[in-house]
Structure formats: structure tokens, C-alpha cells
Amino acid sequence: MAEEIELDHPVEVGVLDDDHGDLELIERELIRLKIFDYYVRAESPEFLKRMNENTKLVAIDYRLSNETAEDVLIKIREKNPGVKVILMSGQLPQDRSSRDSVLRNFINSDGGIVGYVEKSGMEYIKEIGSLILRELNKARQVAVEELIKKHRIERLEKIAESLAEKYNLT
């Protein structure tokens, strides 16, 4: 019978958007996708306060009430340098070259950007959900691999201790 092993901690997702309607729609999509280790906030101070090392992915609206995602991302990186980021916006410049320039600057300043979703129509909610699910599954895979490695090391240490005792090598 296989030993049952659980992750040491949840792999969490944080969503920051100052539009309460969008937050509610995204939260419904996360629940529909059976993603339960998440939190949503409308203000960055509360978001940053809630964030911890278990947060492996964040989805951030580019334009917030009092700051931009770039401002918040600096603070996020101070707390959790390895977190992956999905950028959302309905307010980037409409012409493609200006929008691409903003995104390129943002992405170049931070290698942890894993996706961009333009907030238009209702399809963007499913797109955000799909991106979150894809990246969350990647983060869970990494966590599982780390846990497997940890358990292998612990088993090897027990074997080494047992052999040391058996052959008086202590």
C-alpha cells in the first residue's frame, strides 16, 4: 500500500483588482474551476498583508485606484520574489504598438510575467481562469516534485542511520 503524502502547504493564488464586479466574476470562475486556495482583494495594502510564501501566482489589474501594477509588483517582489504574475487590463492604450510597448517594458522589468489578459467582453473571465489554472498546476507540480525529493532524502537518511547502527559506524 502506497504511503499517502500531502503537500506541506497550499499553493495559493491572489487576485488584485479594484473593480468589485470583476473580482466577483473572477472568484466565481475560480470556484467553477474548483480552485479553492485563493484570495481576492480590491486594495493593495490588504492584498500585500494577506500574501505569503504560499502565494505562487497573482493576477493583477494594471490600473488600480491609486497605483499601477508596476508599483504593486515592486512590493510583491519584496515579499515573494518568485511569484508568477498574470497582468489584466482594460485600460492600456488601444493602438497595438503603444500597448505592446507598455507590456514589453513591464515584462522586461519583471521576468515573472506569465500572461496578459485584456479585459473586454465577458470572455476574459474564462481566459483569466484558464491562465490561473494552467499556472497553478505548474506550481503544484513543482511543489510535488520538491516534496518527493524531500521524502527521498528523509528515507535515505533513515537507511543510513540504520546501516550505521547495524555496523557500529556511529
C-alpha cell at 50: 494577506
- If one compares 93 and 139, the residue with the highest pLDDT of the two is 139
* Predicted local confidence at residue 94, as pLDDT: 61
Q: Say how far apart CA 6 and CA 18 lie, in whole Å.
A: 35
Q: Where are the domains of the chain?
A: 12-143
How many alpha carbons fall within 13 Å on the CB side of residue 125? Answer: 15
pLDDT at 9 over 80: no
Among 15, 36, 37, 13, which residue's Cα sits nearest to residue 26? Answer: 15
pLDDT at 79 over 60: yes
pTM for this predicted structure: 0.78
Annotation: CATH topology of 12-143: Rossmann fold (3.40.50)
Cβ-count burial 4-19 (b if 16+ within 10 Å, e if not): eeeeeeebbbbbbbbb
pLDDT at 86 over 70: yes
Q: Say how far apart CA 114 and CA 47 lie, in whole Å.
A: 20
